Amino acid sequence: MKTLTGALALSAVLWGQTAAAVSLVEVYEDALGADPTLREAAANRMATLESKPQAFAALLPQVSGQYTYERTWDSGSQTFTQLIPDPDTGNSTIGTGTTGFSQDTKPRKFWQLQLTQTLFRWDQWVALKQADKTVAQAEAEYRAAQQGLMIRVAQTYFDTLAAKATLEAAESAKRSIARQLEQAEKRFEVGLIAITDVQEAQASYDSAVAGVIEAKRTLATAFEFVREITGQYYGDLADAGPDIPLISPNPNDVELWVQTALEQNLNVEASRLAASIARDEVSSRKAGHMPTVDFFARRFNDDLDADRSNKPSEIGGELTEGFDGPADSDFWRDAIGLQLNVPLYSGGAVRSQVKEAGYQHRAATERLERSARETERQVRDSFLSVNAEISRVQALARSVESNQTALRATEAGFEVGTRTTVDVLDSRRNLFEAERDYARSRYTYVVNALLLKQAAGTLGEADVREVNGWLSE
């Protein structure tokens, strides 16, 4: 059952290869709407774009309102001072007394409306400046993610074609070795060759069968990588045949490519903006030492509806009676003014924050330098790889032709008895490896050409469509 299940799984993967081939552009267009990595980058970009209106909003008038509705119960004692007239002398003396009281407030209604306008806050102006750079950085990172998707689609696409070419070459080698094994068995039966030749052919055939199984698994895995990006399976992919154009980098000067990359590479641009944002952050932290000035306008109303009960109290030796009565109030206040806040001492926190921002700026500067060096290395490596791969493709094309000629010669020698079965098997194996390497080299050339443009920051959909024009069903 396990063997049957495995066979069915492989058949399901390879079944669709009889369907119409899907082009590179079609896979890329599917990936644009389905790739989780790009959608994540798009969401992060949209979130970052909100930093600009948030920074600008801090400079606009701020209006706040407050409303309180409450009921309270107060009780306790109160000491008070009062003039006590002397009827005999006509003079008054000062007397103090203490009375207990209780007050029931039902209800207290308080509301306040306040407008505040920033006149000077250095950190807010710096934040507005930073927001523009943060938005530009988000745009650069999103475009870098788009270019990254183009490379990932092309890489998985041509890895799948390479796996398919490997499988086709392995199956061709298997069929050829099977014929060789059949011939060897017939020759052995009539006594023309020794049993060792049959055993050699059998061993090669068994290895070819194992190679086909491994090639099928590799192809199935390659299709899974394509599905990971696009969210769907494809039956077959349009191939880039032997007539693929081998175009040298234009201009064919690595220094010009490096210069373009340092100016246009999106990762370098994002790192450059990050360093500038970090430098602005140092200035923003220094605002902790600066005064702030705000204009404010305020209006509030405190409306109190209460009943108060005072207990009897003694003042100057005379006992006053307690009483109950209302304690209502309705208080309004309007105010406008300027508020100046001058920081004097914060325990060294601001100074520490400025130093922290300085170190973060230094780290961002080093990241920029690292990004520039990595980009230059990628440009030089991709430039050399494109030119080297062109020569390698041409050399492997000749190698396939040479191995085909060598195989025919070896088979002819085997027919007349001058070559052995081992010689024929070696020639077939060499041809299989040459065909496999030739196909892989063509695909590697295409990917390296795209990698060079990505490193230079010039990769676009037009390049994907140009490569797509080299494909055929």
Read off φ and ψ for residue 220, nearest 5 degrees: -60, -40
Q: Within this chain, do residues 157 and 230 fall inside the same structural domain, yes or no?
A: yes
Cα–Cα distance, 172 to 404 (Å, whole number) = 13
Which of 312, 341, 370 terminates a domain? The answer is 341
Q: Residue 157: in which H helix or E strand, if any?
A: helix 122-189
Give yes or no: residues 171 and 206 share one domain: yes
pLDDT of residue 50: 95
Please state, as a whole number, how many other Cβ atoms lie within 10 Å of the Cβ of residue 73. Answer: 9
Residues 6+ apart with CB under 8 A from 188: 194, 195, 197, 198
Give the CATH number, domain containing residue 207: 1.20.1600.10
Q: How far is CA 180 from CA 176, 197, 212, 427, in A?
A: 6, 10, 17, 12
Same domain for 172 and 319, yes or no, is no
Which of residues 324, 341, 358 is at a domain's end? 341
Q: Are 334 and 298 in contact (CB under 8 A)?
A: yes
Burial class (CB in 10 A: 0-12, 13-18, 19+), 242: exposed
CB 311 within 8 A of CB 322: yes
- Both 314 and 195 in one domain: the answer is no
Q: In this structure, what is the dihedral angle of CA atoms 274, 279, 281, 284, given to the nearest 10 degrees?
A: -150
CA 107 to chain centre: 56
For tokens 């959608």, name the residue.
39
Question: How many structural domains is the chain composed of?
Answer: 2
Q: How far is CA 170 from the centre of its chain?
A: 39
Peptide bond into 251 cis (omega under 30): yes
Query: Of the candidates 471, 463, 473, which has an alpha carbon nearest to the alpha carbon of residue 158?
Result: 471
246, 390 Cβ separation under 8 angstroms: yes
Q: Any residues with CB less than 8 A from the CB of 90 and at least 6 apart, and which? A: none
What torsion do the CA atoms of 67, 69, 74, 80 make, to the nearest 10 degrees? 40
Are 371 and 430 in the same domain?
yes
Residues 238-267 have pLDDT tens digits of: 987 777 889 999 999 999 999 999 999 999
* pLDDT at site 317: 58
Same domain (yes/no): 17, 94? no
| Same-domain status, 156 and 282 | yes
Measure CA 413 to chain center.
61
pLDDT at 314: 64
Mark whether 69 and 164 lie in a shared domain.
no
Q: Quote the pTM value.
A: 0.80
Q: Scanning the structure block, which residue is given the tokens 């990006």? A: 229
Same domain, 355 and 451: yes
**Same domain, yes or no: 200 and 68:** no
What pLDDT was estimated at residue 35? 95
The two tokens of residue 229 are: 């990006």
Domain range for 361 is 2-58+121-291+345-472
- The domain boundary, picked from 307, 322, 341, lies at 341
- 418's tokens: 């001058």
Q: How much is the pLDDT for 405? A: 92
Q: CA 275: distance to chain centroid?
A: 19
Same domain, 278 and 135: yes
Residues in the chain where the model's pLDDT stays below 50: 1-18
Q: What is the pLDDT of residue 95?
A: 66
Q: Quick one: pLDDT at residue 10?
A: 47
| 253 and 184 assigned to the same domain | yes
> Nearest Cα to 183, choosing from 166, 207, 204, 208?
204
